[in-house]
Amino acid sequence: METIFDISKSGRQSTFFPYLDWLSEDPESELDNGLIRSGKPGLPEVTQPDLVRHYVRLSKLNYGVDDGLYPLGSCTMKHNPKPNEDIARIEEFQGHHPLASYDLVQGNLRLSYELGQLLKKISGMDAITLQPSAGAHGELTGMLMIRKYHHENGQLDKRNKILLPDSSHGTNPASAAVAGFEAIEVKSNDQGTVDIDGLKEVADENTAGIMLTVPNTLGIFEKDILEVASIVHDVGGLCYFDGANLNAFLGKVKPGDLGMDITHFNLHKTFSTPHGGGGPGSGPVAVKENLEPYLPVPIVEKNNEEYQFGYDRPKSIGRVNSFPGAFGVLVKAYCYILALGDEGLKRVSENAVLNANYLKEKLQKVYTLAYKGSCKHEFVLNGGGLGEGVKTIDIAKRLLDYGYHPPTVYFPLIVQEALMIEPTETETKETLDSFFQAMVSIAQEAADDPELLHNAPTETPVGRLNETQAARNPILRWTNSGQS
Amino acid sequence: MDFIPNTDEDKREMLEEIGVDSIAELFSDIPSEVQVQGELIGEEGRTELELKNEVGSLAKENAKPGDRVNFIGAGLYDHFIPSVVSHVTGRSEFYSAYTPYQAEISQGTLTWMFEYQTAISELTGMDIANSSLYDGGSAAAEAVLMAQEYTGNRSVVVANTLNPAYREVIETYLPDPDDSVIQLPDNNGTIDTNALERTVSSNDDLAALVLQSPNYFGLIEDLRGLKEKVNDGFLIVSSNPISLGLLEPPGQFGADIVVGEGQPLGNPISFGGPLLGLFATRKEYLRYLPGRVSGKTTDGEGNEGFVMALQTREQHIRRERATSNICTNQALNALAATVYLSALGPAGFSRLAEINWQVSHYLARKLVEIDNVQLTWEKPFFNEFVITIGNDPERIWKSMKQEGIDLLHPKHLKHMGLDRNLMLAVTEKIRKEDMDHFAELLEREL
C-alpha cells in the first residue's frame, strides 16, 4: 500500500509561507544552539496535485456509510445529514477561542446550553456536562462522579466494586478500572438479560454502582430494569446507564424514568454526527440532581439572559478535558435534534427497531439467532456451523465481496461466533432485502464451497490481512528501508 | 425533516413479515408505566431551509472572528489552514467511515493512520506514536497512567509551568490519594531544577515528571539532563507541535513520552473542540501504549496492507485489564494533521515555525519599547510571551476588546501570582499593521 512517504521527492512542496521583509528576528542569535533542531523533521515532500491524488486514491480504498449499508452492531452507523456538516463549518461558530470573552461568543454558549436542555429532556435527567470527548470518556466521567459521591458520603473506602453484566461494552469494565474500581461480572440469564438472582448475590455494601447497557449488547431490553435499579439502590449503589444504544428507544422511554442516576450520550451514534473513521465523537453525561455538584468544570450556565462557563463548583470531579468539549460535534447534534423535532425523534427509534426486527425475522430462517424474542435496534446471530470449518470471520469477509460492510463480529463475548447486526432507521427495505439475499447466498456457499469463504475476500483492494504478523512484528511507522 | 425512508406500505409489509400488528407492539417489552406519554422536547421538526436560517442566526449572535484580532493562545493556536486539508477531510469515504475494524475495506483510513504515526514520530523524535487521543490534557493524563503502570510507582511531579488545565485533567484522572501529584515550582518562569533534584531525591515512588516546552508562558524549557534527574521515573514532555519545526524535539533529550495538543496542525480552534491528543513514545513501551495504532502486514498473496495492530491492548478485548478505556478517538482531526504536515513538508514546516518565532518576537520588541512594559522573564520563548505592565491588566483587556483586539483574560495568569501581566500569542495569521496598531493602543492606555 503506497504511502505519502513513498511518493515523496526532495524539493517538492505544496504549501509555502511568505517572505516578510519586516522580520529580522533570528532564532539562532537568541537560542542556545543545543536547543535548535539539528535536522528537519522527515515529513513528506509533495506538490498539491500529488497530495490530492494520493488522498483521493486512499479515500477510494475506504467504505463509509455514504457508500452503503454499514450494519455494525453497537455502532449506530446511520446517515450523517449534509446540512449539519455545512452549518458546523460556519466561521462564526468555528472561528472562536474557548477563552474568548463571553459577550463575543453568546451564540456558541447558547447553542451549547440549549443542546444540554434538549438532552436533559430526552434522557429525563436534571443536569448535564457536554465536556467528555467520547462514550468511553463519558463513562469515565460518570465513574469518577460515582467515586466522588461515595467519597463525600464517607463510604468510598468500602464501596470499591462496580457491577457489570457480562454482555456489557468493553469500555465499561475498562472505564471502571481507570476510575479505580474493581469490575464484578454479573451473569446473564437464558433470555440474555441480567440474572436477578445473580445480581442479588453480588450486590452488597461494597457495591459502588452498576453499569447497564440498555438495550443490552444482544439488542434486548432489560425488562427487569426497575428491579435492577432498586436492588442496587437498596444496597446504597448508583446506577450508570450506558447510552450507546439510545437509538433503540429515543423518545419512547427516558433513562431517568428507569431509576438511572447517570447516563452518557454518544452524539456520534444516536445524534448522527459522523464517526470520522474512528472519531471525533462527543459523550455528554447527564445526571440526577443529587449528582449535579460533581459534574466536571466548567459547566455552561445561563444567568438572566447571558451565557457563560461556570467554574465555581467546589465539589466537582475537576476537568476531564483541557477545554470545554467538542463544540463542532455539538453543533451537528443540535441541528439534528431540531430538524427532527418530537415526532422525528420518535420515528428514529420506531424505524430502527422495525428495520432490525424485519431483518432478524428474515435472517433467522437461515442463521441461528443467539437469543429468541423481540429485539430492539440490533440482534445477534451465531455465524458458526453453516459449512465445514466456516466461522463468523469467513462470513464477514465474504460479505465484503458482496459490497457490504459486515456486522460487528465476535462481540458480545457471551455469544459464540457472534454476528451483531444493527441496520439503523436510515436504510430502505430494499437495502435490507438485498443484504438478506447476500446473507442467504453466503449461507449456501458455506455449505457448497466452504473454501470460497475461507479465501474471502477476493474483490477488495487487499486480501485477508495477517493480524498475527502485525502483532508479532509490529511495523508502526514508515522508514526508508520499510522496517520499523 | 428526517432521514427515514420507510413508507407506510414498507411498514405494513415489514410488520406483516415480523408477524405483529403495529410498531407499538415492538416496544411492548418496555414497561408501559415508564413509556413516554406526550411531548418529548416540545419542538416541531424543521426543513433544511428553516434550520439553516434559525441556526445561522444563532451563529450571528457571536462576533465575526474575521473582524477581530486574536492574541489568545494558552494551548490552542489560530494558524493558517491550507484549503487542501478540508477538501481531503470533507471526503465522506473518510468522515462517514467507522473505526477500521474491517481492514480490507479500510485501507484508506489505515494508510493515513500509518502516515500520521510516522509524521508524529518524526516531529517528536520518538520511535512510535499512536493514532490519537482526545486532546493535549487527556493525553498528558494517559501518559501519567502509562508511567505508573510501567514503573509501578504512583507519585507524579508536575511542573507549575505546565498548562494549568492539563494539570487539572491529570488530577481528575488520579483521584486516589495515593497518587500524589506534586507541584514543581518555577524559577523565573521555567522549572526550578534545584527543586526538582530535591523532590526526586526525597521520593522513592516517582512515576513521572510532567513538563511542557514551550511551557504555558511560551518559554522554552531546557530539557538537557532532565532524564538523568528523574532516575527511573518517566520524563513526559508536552509540546506545541509547531515549535518542533524549530526546536530540538524532546525525543533527543531522552523523553519517555511526548504528548501535546495537535490542534495547531491543520485543525480550527472550533471553540475548544474537537481537538487532537498527540502521544508518542519509545519502542520498549509498546505494549503499554494507549489507543489505536495501524501496523503494516501482508495478505495471503504477500501484498502489503495495514491493520489495527496490537488490539489485545485494547478495551474491546482486554476489558478491565486494557491499557486505557479509550475507544472512539480523534481520527478525522488526525487526518487533517496528516494532510497539513504533508502539504507543508519539512521546508514549509520549518519555515512556519521560524515565522511564528519571528512575528512573536517582532511584537515583543515593539511592546517593550513602551514605557512601563517589560518582558516578565528575559528568557527564550516561541510564539507566546508574558509582559508586565504597570497597570491593571483587566482594564487593558476590556479596552482592547472595545477596539476589536482579543487578549487572554488576565485571570488565567493569576494562579502564578501574576497580577500585572498579559500573555500574548502570535501566529503567522496576525498582520504587521494589527500588531503595530495594538502597540499604539497599548502605549496610549498605559
With CB atoms and an 8 Å threshold, state whether B359 touches A23.
yes
Instruction: Please spell the DSSP secondary structure of B364-383, one letter per residue.
Output: HHHHHTSTTEEESS-S-BSS
With CB atoms and an 8 Å threshold, state whether A464 touches B13.
no
Residues B93 and A60 sit within 8 Å (Cβ to Cβ): yes
Phi, psi for residue B5 in degrees, rounded to 5: -85, -15
> How far does the CA of residue B258 sit from the closest CA of chain A (Å)?
15
B99 burial type by CB count under 10 A (0-12 exposed, 13-18 middle, 19+ buried): buried
What is the tens place of the pLDDT at every residue in A296-342? 999 999 999 999 999 999 999 999 999 999 999 999 999 999 999 99
Residue A452: CB atoms within 10 A of its CB come to 17
What is the tens place of the pLDDT at every residue in A390-410? 999 999 999 999 999 999 999
What percentage of chain A has pLDDT greater than the value 70?
A: 99
What is the tens place of the pLDDT at every residue in A31-45? 998 999 999 999 999
Q: Please identify which residue in the block is written with the cell numbers 478491565.
A: B320
> How far does the CA of residue A448 sit from the closest CA of chain B (Å)?
23
> How far does the CA of residue B272 sit from the closest CA of chain A (Å)?
5
Alpha helices in B202-278 (DSSP H): 226-229
With CB atoms and an 8 Å threshold, state whether B128 touches A476.
yes
Alpha helices in B274-431 (DSSP H): 315-318, 331-368, 393-402
Q: Which of B20, B137, B247 is nearest residue A322 as measured by Cβ atoms?
A: B137
Residues from chain B contacting residue A241 (CB–CB below 8 Å): none
Residues from chain A contacting residue B42 (CB–CB below 8 Å): 121, 342
B87 touches chain A (CB under 8 A): yes
Question: Quick one: B42 and B168 in the same domain?
Answer: no
Residue A1 pLDDT: 87
With CB atoms and an 8 Å threshold, state whether B357 touches A351.
no
Residue B176 pLDDT: 87
Question: Quick one: B309 and B390 in the same domain?
Answer: no
Give the fold, CATH level 3, of A84-339.
Aspartate Aminotransferase; domain 2 (3.40.640)
Name the amino acid, one letter, at B306.
F
Q: What is the DSSP letter of A10?
A: T
Residue B2 lies in a domain: no
B183 touches chain A (CB under 8 A): no
What is the tens place of the pLDDT at every residue in A199-224? 999 999 999 999 999 999 899 999 89
With CB atoms and an 8 Å threshold, state whether A470 touches B352.
no
In angstroms, rounded to a whole number, what is the distance separating the alpha carbons of residues B404 and B384? Answer: 20
Residues A337 and A273 sit within 8 Å (Cβ to Cβ): no
B293 touches chain A (CB under 8 A): yes
3-class DSSP state for residue A437? helix
Residues from chain A contacting residue B322 (CB–CB below 8 Å): 170, 174, 177
Residue B67: CB atoms within 10 A of its CB come to 7
Q: Is the pLDDT of residue A483 over 50?
A: no
In angstroms, rounded to a whole number, what is the distance separating the alpha carbons of residues A470 and A193? Answer: 37
With CB atoms and an 8 Å threshold, state whether B59 touches A92.
yes
Residue A484 pLDDT: 45
Residue B56 lies in a domain: no
3-class DSSP state for residue A398? helix
Question: Quick one: B360 and B334 in the same domain?
Answer: no
Is the ipTM here above 0.85? yes
Residues A83 and B53 sit within 8 Å (Cβ to Cβ): no
Kindly report whether the global pTM for this prediction surpasses the value 0.95.
yes
Q: Which of B249, B328, B412 is nearest residue A134 as measured by Cβ atoms?
A: B328
B-interface mutation test, from A131, A393, A477, A481, most B Cβ less than 10 A away: A477
Residue A151: CB atoms within 10 A of its CB come to 17
In angstroms, rounded to a whole number, what is the distance separating the alpha carbons of residues B57 and B36? Answer: 32
Q: What is the DSSP letter of B249?
A: P
Residue A338: CB atoms within 10 A of its CB come to 22
Residues from chain B contacting residue A339 (CB–CB below 8 Å): 1-2, 45-46, 48, 51
Q: Of B340, B356, B373, which closes a domain?
A: B340
Residues from chain B contacting residue A89 (CB–CB below 8 Å): 86
Question: Quick one: B291 and B380 in the same domain?
Answer: no
B287 touches chain A (CB under 8 A): no
Q: Which of B87, B339, B432 is nearest residue A22 as measured by Cβ atoms?
A: B432
The H-or-E segment that residue A299 falls in is strand A299-303
Tell me which chain A residue has its CA closest to the CA of residue B32.
Answer: A253
Residues of chain B with pLDDT under 70: none
With CB atoms and an 8 Å threshold, state whether B358 touches A75.
no
Residues from chain B contacting residue A22 (CB–CB below 8 Å): 362, 432
With CB atoms and an 8 Å threshold, state whether A465 touches B122.
no
| A231, HSE (Cβ side, Cα atoms, 13 Å) | 18
B289 touches chain A (CB under 8 A): no
Name the amino acid, one letter, at A189.
N
Residue B1 lies in a domain: no
Q: Is the pLDDT of residue A482 over 60?
A: no
Query: How many separate domains does chain B show?
Result: 3
Query: For residue A264, which of A343, A340, A184, A320 has the smallest C-alpha distance?
Result: A320
Q: Please identify which residue in the block is written with the cell numbers 446550553.
A: A113
Q: Provide the residue ranges of all domains of chain A, joining segments of one domain with +.
A: 84-339
Residues from chain A contacting residue B408 (CB–CB below 8 Å): 99
What is the tens place of the pLDDT at every residue in A339-374? 999 999 999 999 999 999 999 999 999 999 999 888
Whats the size of chain A, residue-wise? 484
Where residue B189 sits, what CATH number does that domain have?
Answer: 3.40.640.10
Residue A372 pLDDT: 87
Tell me which chain A residue has its CA closest to the CA of residue B145.
Answer: A178
Residue B179 pLDDT: 84
Residues 20-79 in B contacting A (C-alpha not used; CB under 8 Å)? 20, 23, 26-31, 34-36, 39-46, 48, 51-52, 54-56, 58-66, 68, 70, 72, 74-76, 78
3-class DSSP state for residue B308? strand
B222 touches chain A (CB under 8 A): yes
Question: Quick one: B127 and B271 in the same domain?
Answer: yes
Residues 137-156 in B contacting A (C-alpha not used; CB under 8 Å)? 137-138, 145
Question: Quick one: B294 and B329 in the same domain?
Answer: yes
Q: Which of B131, B166, B319 is nearest residue A173 as measured by Cβ atoms?
A: B319
C-alpha cell at A312: 465555581
Where residue B364 sits, what CATH number does that domain have?
Answer: 3.90.1150.10
With CB atoms and an 8 Å threshold, state whether A1 touches B107.
yes
Residues from chain A contacting residue B331 (CB–CB below 8 Å): 275-280
> How far does the CA of residue A74 sit from the closest CA of chain B (Å)?
11
Residue B167 lies in a domain: yes
What is the tens place of the pLDDT at every residue in A75-89? 999 999 999 999 999
Helix axes A429-448, A392-401, angle to 10 degrees: 120
> How far does the CA of residue A201 sit from the closest CA of chain B (Å)?
21
Q: Which domain covers residue B394, as residue numbers?
A: 65-80+345-445
Average pLDDT, chain A: 96
Tell me which chain B residue has its CA closest to the CA of residue A432.
Answer: B14
A67 burial type by CB count under 10 A (0-12 exposed, 13-18 middle, 19+ buried): middle
In angstroms, rounded to a whole number, what is the distance separating the alpha carbons of residues A173 and A398? Answer: 32
C-alpha cell at A410: 465476535
Q: Which of A27, A169, A220 is nearest residue B246 as measured by Cβ atoms?
A: A27
Question: Quick one: B21 and B168 in the same domain?
Answer: no
> How far does the CA of residue B107 sit from the closest CA of chain A (Å)?
5
Question: Quick one: B70 and B90 in the same domain?
Answer: no
Residues 397-416 in B contacting A (C-alpha not used; CB under 8 Å)? 401, 406, 408-409, 412
With CB atoms and an 8 Å threshold, state whether B316 touches A175.
no
Question: Quick one: B352 and B322 in the same domain?
Answer: no
CB pairs under 8 A between A and B: 689
With CB atoms and an 8 Å threshold, state whether B268 touches A344.
no
Whats the size of chain B, residue-wise? 446
Q: Is the pLDDT of residue A471 over 70?
A: yes
Tell me which chain A residue has its CA closest to the CA of residue B429.
Answer: A17
Name the amino acid, one letter, at B445.
E
| B200, HSE (Cβ side, Cα atoms, 13 Å) | 22
Question: Quick one: B280 and B193 in the same domain?
Answer: yes
Residues 345-364 in B contacting A (C-alpha not used; CB under 8 Å)? 345-352, 354-355, 357-359, 361-362
Residues from chain B contacting residue A474 (CB–CB below 8 Å): 286, 293, 295, 309-310
Question: Quick one: B175 and B214 in the same domain?
Answer: yes
B126 touches chain A (CB under 8 A): no
Question: Quick one: B193 and B289 in the same domain?
Answer: yes
Residues from chain B contacting residue A269 (CB–CB below 8 Å): none
Tell me which chain B residue has its CA closest to the CA of residue A470.
Answer: B297
